[in-house]
Amino acid sequence: MLEVKNLTYSYEDGTKALENININLKKGKKIGIIGANGSGKSTLFLNMVGILKPRRGNILFNGESIKYNKKYLREYRKKVNIVFQDPDKQIFYSNVYDDIAFALRNIGYDEEEIKSRIDKVLKRVGAYDFKDKPVHFLSYGQKKRVAIAGILVMDGDIILFDEPTSGLDPLMTREIVSIIEDISKDKNIIISSHDMNLIYEICDYIYVLEKGKIIKEGSVKDVFTEEEILERAGLEEPWLVKIHKRLGLPLFKDEEEFFSYWREKYGSGIDWS
Amino acid sequence: MLLIDRYAYTNKLKDFNPMAKFIFAIGALFVAIGFNNLYINFVIFLTMVLLTTIVAGIPSKNYFKIYLVPFLFLFFSILTIIISKSSEDIFLWSFKMGKSYFGIKEESLTSSIILILRVLACLSSTFFIALTTPINHLIKIFKKLKLPPTIIELIILIYRFIFVFLEESKEISFAQEMRFGYIGIKNTYRSIGLLMKCLFVRVLLKYNDMINSLDAKLYNGDFKIG
């Protein structure tokens, strides 16, 4: 299990990007890290996968502090990996299959194993239908699936998603969300985002990041009902929280819950005539 | 972000009259090349180092790190100048290989020292201007000096694209590293090839985007500055 302990990270010229960060993955299965642009979310993720090395503090993996040598990091990244924000920057081939195979070929799996893993993963992210299309013919959302597949194929334990739905249309957002929900059934996930509705629906434990510091952590309900904290972090309440607070309705976890409550109470349709 | 650039925007001399800084540094550069005097060059070097580290407040550790790359070149050039070959032992220090001697002559030693100091004086003057003056101030100076607009345009665009390029290459290589692209020599070669391909494609795309946005902003062939 992954734990971030008293992590401080500063740039070469000494400006602090992250200060005394504590994160424990035991707190939830689907952890959300929320904060405005430039609050340090991506830097934190790069620290967590060992690309950046903290100035102070540790990343603990299964109770041991991670080491920064090649051999250790290779094993570590088989278990803990990251899906970056922009799919165009993580797809290197013009062929979907070769691209997803990239990581496995690098660590020397045999082609048979690679094929069976890729087929499985393509179906899981719903990319099987366009697996033979060249990448530059794919839509942004389709590329996003390929990017996720490229990481998922390693079958690690923990996957970090950096802004997984930014730039996606509503339909694609829904689909990526359901892929993430599906992945979270057998893996721990961490999502960074400033889309409050998304985090509210998916995650079960939240950290709020502001200017490189964690200003609040807690369960979804604890965090999202603290309006001042969200305001301070440059964020806003999810709409379900808004209707809960302003209209006095119960706090619903997702849209569906709200709709069925409404239906039960007021019937299914409104007579507009 | 580039460290040099960050310092240029944050150092203590950043608001000091840019023209004065520019004339001072370029003047020193000309003196260093023109007079080529050992002592003058040493004084220039010392002044520039003190001005950049103490007055402008750039950490000396990082300051001297910037010298590493040019020093590598300097080292190899000096090596070829300082070591000469002769059939007799006329050297300060030498070793014999076959019938000839290889070693260091007194005059090549002095000329190397002069060369090193000249290089140091020139480098430190250039670094002074690079580390203490933001690019926008430099561009204003170039305009005052009536540099051709095309050159200024090029400077602005190249400067902008250096960062686009660096940012992109950093992100792509991070993504490769996370998928074990740099394990062993074979993978590394392949990943570097892929990185170059991706960068090329992405830079062309950015170029297209730029043309579109220039069109949208009514660009008509000349780049207006300040």
ipTM: 0.76
Token pair for B137: 């101030």
What per-residue confidence (pLDDT) applies to B173?
92
In a domain, B221, yes or no: no
In chain A, what is the straight-line distance between the N-terminal and C-terminal CA atoms, in Å? 58
CA distance A62 to chain B (A): 20
Same domain, B156 and B126: no
The A158-162 sheet, strands edge to edge = A80-83, A158-162, A188-193, A30-34, A205-210, A213-219
* pLDDT mean over B127-135: 90
What per-residue confidence (pLDDT) applies to A268?
67
What per-residue confidence (pLDDT) applies to A266?
82
CA distance B107 to chain A (A): 42
Interface test with A, best of B3, B61, B66, B178 (most A CBs within 10 A): B178
- Lowest model confidence (mean pLDDT) among A29-38, B100-109, B197-206, B209-218: B209-218
End residue of a domain, out of B110, B137, B164: B137
CA distance B65 to chain A (A): 12
Number of A:B CB contacts under 8 A? 60
Interface test with B, best of A15, A102, A143 (most B CBs within 10 A): A102
Which of B48, B77, B41 lies closest to B63 in space, CA to CA? B48
- Mean pLDDT score across all residues of chain A: 90
User: Does A99 score more than 70 pLDDT?
Assistant: yes
In a domain, B226, yes or no: no
Pair B222, B149: CB distance under 8 Å: yes
E-only strand ranges, A137-224: 158-162, 188-193, 205-210, 213-219
What per-residue confidence (pLDDT) applies to A125?
93
What per-residue confidence (pLDDT) applies to B193?
93
pTM over 0.90: no
Spell out which residues of chain A touch residue B187, defining contact as CB-CB under 8 Å: 106
Distance, in Å, from the CA atom of B57 to the CA atom of B59, rounded to the nearest integer, reads 6
A249-268 pLDDT tens trace: 888 888 888 888 888 888 76
Q: Which CATH number fits domain A2-89+158-236: 1.20.950.20, 3.40.50.10680, 3.40.50.300, 3.40.630.10?
A: 3.40.50.300
User: Does B1 score more than 60 pLDDT?
Assistant: no
Interface test with A, best of B167, B179, B198 (most A CBs within 10 A): B179
Q: How many domains in chain B?
A: 2
CA distance B22 to chain A (A): 24
Residue of B7, B62, B180 lying closest to A74 (CB–CB): B180
User: Does B92 score more than 70 pLDDT?
Assistant: yes
In a domain, B168, yes or no: yes
